[in-house]
């Protein structure tokens, strides 16, 4: 499927990406290959299938309380701890 270079430029604008003419040409080719792949997928015959891949899907696993952090080594890598929680520097 042929895709116009203007559509590639429009997609780049939507993604706030600046493309040179050379890059737009490369991405045009890449997008055409992707669209061609999806066109091939349309040709695949699909039939109803039972997707239950596990023979014991209805079984449940019992919840068991486990320590989430080890006893010492892991905690040594953190500078502060408060109320059983490890404190890290603010990200934002």
Residue spans of the domains in the chain: they are 5-42
d(CA 24, CA 32): 12
Query: Tell me: the pLDDT tens digits for 20-74?
Result: 999 999 999 999 999 999 999 888 887 777 666 666 666 777 788 876 666 667 7
pLDDT at 64: 83
Is-contact 35 11, C-beta < 8 A? no
For the full predicted model, state whether its pTM sits above 0.85.
Answer: no
Q: Which CATH class is domain 5-42?
A: mainly alpha
């Amino acid at each position: 499927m042929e895709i116009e270079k203007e559509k590639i430029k429009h997609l780049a604008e939507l993604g706030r990406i600046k493309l040179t003419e050379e890059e737009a040409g490369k991405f045009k080719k890449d997008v055409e290959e992707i669209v061609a792949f999806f066109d091939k997928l349309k040709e695949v015959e699909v039939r109803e299938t039972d997707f239950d891949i596990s023979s014991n899907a209805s079984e449940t696993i019992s919840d068991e309380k486990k320590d989430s952090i080890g006893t010492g080594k892991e905690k040594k890598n953190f500078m502060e701890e408060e109320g059983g929680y490890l404190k890290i520097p603010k990200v934002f």
